[in-house]
Amino acid sequence: MSGNHKTVSLSKMSIGQKGRIRDFIVESDDCERIEEMGVTPGEYVEVVRYAPLGDPIEIKIRGYHLSLRKEEARLITVEVIP
């Protein structure tokens, strides 16, 4: 991965924005559960939509759609693809 790309929290990405999962900010039971759903470092992710009040966030990863709570998305760092 190139150092030229901006790294942000998944919760800060815009609709339609794509990136590659870098890591989890902290290790927790939530992180383990998220990884079991296929959200793992190296996978590409796209933000599909936010619920009307901003929570949950719908993402596309591994060819399927997944909803994450905003607090879960805050735990995930993503290298944004321009």
In tens, the pLDDT along 13-25 reads 999 999 999 988 7
* Arithmetic mean of pLDDT, 32-57: 89
pLDDT over threshold 60, residue 63: yes
Q: Structure pTM?
A: 0.83
How far, in Å, CA of 69 to CA of 33, rounded?
A: 12
2 band by pLDDT with thresholds 50, 70 and 90: very low
The H-assigned helical ranges of 1-82 are: 29-36, 70-73
pLDDT over threshold 50, residue 1: no
pLDDT over threshold 70, residue 69: yes
What ranges do the domains of the chain cover? 7-81
- Domain 7-81: give its CATH superfamily: Ferrous iron transport protein A (FeoA) (2.30.30.90)
